[in-house]
Amino acid sequence: MSEAHTFHPTVLREYDIRGIVGSTLTAADARAVGRAFGTVVARGGGKTVCVGYDGRLSSPELEAALVDGLVACGLHVLRIGLGPTPMLYFATRDREAAAGIMITGSHNPPDYNGIKMMLGKGPVYGQQILDIGIIASKADYVSGEGSSEQVDVKDAYVERLLRDYDGTRDLTVAWDAGNGASGEILRRLTAKLPGKHILLFDEIDGNFPNHHPDPTVEKNLVDLKKAVAENGCDIGIGFDGDGDRIGAIDHRGRVVWGDQLVAIYAADVLKSHPGATIIADVKASQTLFDEIARLGGTPLMWKTGHSLLKAKMAELGSPLAGEMSGHIFFADKWYGFDDALYCAVRLIGLVSKLNQPLSDLRDRLPPVVNTPETRFQVSEERKFQVVQEVKGRLKNEGADVNDIDGVRVKTADGWWLLRASNTQDVLVARAESGTPEGLERLKGMVVAQLEASGLQAPSFEDGGSAH
């Protein structure tokens, strides 16, 4: 008889399970997830689960415990080993498994780790994650005699990534794997891609000795920019710790942000899906939504969160979606999940066949000035209350508000956003304008609203970055 298990209250998140190894997340937690999630799979008639893990030092131990829990539910586990999260998503689809589980801390610091899950073809999030906690707390498990086997999907995954490469001229590309889980796949992929490839930090190392593996933070792209400049590269591409988020640099060393990449991809995807709905999150630039409309597509602004975007895409049959954070999802030719390696293949192909530099594609969008995503600490209890208070005041003032996820307020100067993070005890603010003066006015509006709710306003970092 298995004992009941209680998780630390901070680890069951909106999109995944995540915590500090040895403190809020242990092997016992991973085993309990295996038992509880395995119970959900088995009760739904599932028989097989794929399991993978990233390059963190704690990942093998957590993976072994998780597999024990799944096997105790009578399931057959396909252990795909070390690799990026999208390789696990691919294996689950390719092997037609009932579910997939990835041990990964994504782009968190080295002492963190976590668990991402998929059931059938869709993500596990929200109430489904809380339900895992409830099953574990009651030890309401199914039991059986399962089994596990090691399977190698690396060759099949690389071949599938290569299938959609459609470039016509060779490019020189710099790649920064950030010592994350994509390193080995990246070596295999670039060995088969045409062109010249310069690989940085492709040795998988859970200490992340060179820089933090988050390509959406510009200071983490210093080495990539240097490699692009020194080698005369056409493009630089960076990955996060588990390979589901992409960052890109043009040949002039400028960052091509997540929403700009979605606009570039949209121009290509809408050729074969005219009028299709393209989805982006509430943090994305207005220039992206305007560009989708200009290209004949139907822009849809949706909630931030990779699980939420994946679910919305499936619901609407959308061929493309993306987030500011670099999670970009292709259902055009691909499976609808976020895969930075696949996004890279599509980007290189696009630039190659258009015979235009990435900088030209980036500069098709009108220039704007914006703040970076500014986060500031607010207690878990208070963060959602503040957003409701701000929304109430804005509605009374007759402001133009989109409240799909927090408040996004449109004015003559541009727009500003305030939303509560689903994964941290922070509020997130962002603003964008066509002029520096307009941006200052928008920032002033955010500050005024926060002060009206008794909060000290954030110090927006230098927001002059043209974007």
**Residue 6: inside a domain, yes or no?**
no
Alpha-carbon Rg for the chain, nearest whole angstrom, is: 22
The domain boundary, picked from 362, 379, 408, lies at 362
In this structure, the answer to whether residues 176 and 297 fall within a common structural domain is yes
Cα 356 from Cα 371, distance rounded (Å): 29
Both structure tokens of 130: 């809380």
pLDDT in tens, 360-390: 999 999 999 999 888 888 988 899 999 999 9
Q: Whole-angstrom Cα distance, residue 145 to residue 61?
A: 21
Same domain for 290 and 332? yes
Q: Are residues 163 and 181 in the same domain?
A: yes
Q: pLDDT tens string for the chain (467 positions)?
A: 568 999 999 999 988 999 999 999 999 999 999 999 999 999 999 999 999 999 999 999 999 999 999 999 999 999 999 999 999 999 999 999 999 999 999 888 899 999 999 999 999 999 999 999 999 999 999 999 999 999 999 999 999 999 999 999 999 999 999 999 999 999 999 999 999 999 999 999 999 999 999 998 999 999 999 999 999 999 999 999 999 999 999 999 999 999 999 999 999 999 999 999 999 999 999 999 999 999 999 999 999 999 999 999 999 999 999 999 999 999 999 999 999 999 999 999 999 999 899 999 999 999 999 998 888 889 888 999 999 999 999 999 999 999 999 999 999 999 999 999 887 789 999 999 999 999 999 999 999 999 999 998 777 764 434 34
- CATH number for the domain spanning 373: value is 3.30.310.50
The verdict on 264 and 291 lying in the same domain is yes
Structure token digits, residue 384:
């959602």
Residues in a beta bridge with 100: 50, 118
Q: What is the spatial distance between Cα 158 and Cα 174, in angstroms, rounded to a whole number?
A: 18
162 lies in the same domain as 134: no
Q: What is the reported pLDDT for 422?
A: 81
The model carries a pTM of 0.95
Closest by CA position to 37, among listed 121, 115, 150: 115
Residue 293 within a domain: yes
CB 172 within 8 A of CB 195: yes
Q: In degrees rounded to 5, what are phi and psi of residue 390? A: -65, -45
Residue ending a domain, among 301, 330, 362, is: 362
Q: What is the DSSP letter of 196?
A: E
Q: How far is the C-alpha of 380 from the C-alpha of 368, rounded, in Å?
A: 33
- The residues carrying an active-site annotation are 106
Residue 11 counted as domain residue: no
CATH number of the domain residue 171 falls in: 3.40.120.10
Domain-terminating residue out of 95, 125, 152: 152
Query: CA-CA distance, 139 to 159, in Å (whole number)?
Result: 42
380 in the same domain as 307: no
Tell me the backbone φ, ψ of residue 135, rounded to 5 degrees.
Answer: -60, -45
Question: How many domains are contained in the chain?
Answer: 3
| 289 and 141 housed in the same domain | no
Q: Is residue 4 part of a domain?
A: no
Q: Cα torsion for 51, 53, 59, 64, to the nearest 10°? A: 20
- Domain containing 67 equals 17-152
Q: Is 9 contained in some domain?
A: no
d(CA 414, CA 400): 11
Q: Do 143 and 196 reside in the same domain of the chain?
A: no
Q: Are 116 and 101 in contact (CB under 8 A)?
A: yes
Whether residue 120 is contained in a domain is answered as: yes
Residues 125 and 210 occupy one common structural domain: no
Distance CA 246, CA 313 (A): 19
Residue 450 and residue 309 share a domain: no
Whole-number Å distance between alpha carbons of 266 and 273: 10
Q: What backbone phi and psi angles, to 5 degrees, belong to 156?
A: -65, -40
> Quick check: is 456 in a domain?
yes
Are 197 and 272 found together in one domain? yes
Q: Report strand pairing: 48-53 vs 76-82.
A: parallel
Q: Are 292 and 266 in contact (CB under 8 A)?
A: yes
* 235, 333: one domain: yes
Going along 39-190, which residue ranges are E strands? Answer: 48-53, 76-82, 99-103, 112-119, 122-123, 147-150, 172-176
Structural domain contains residue 124:
yes
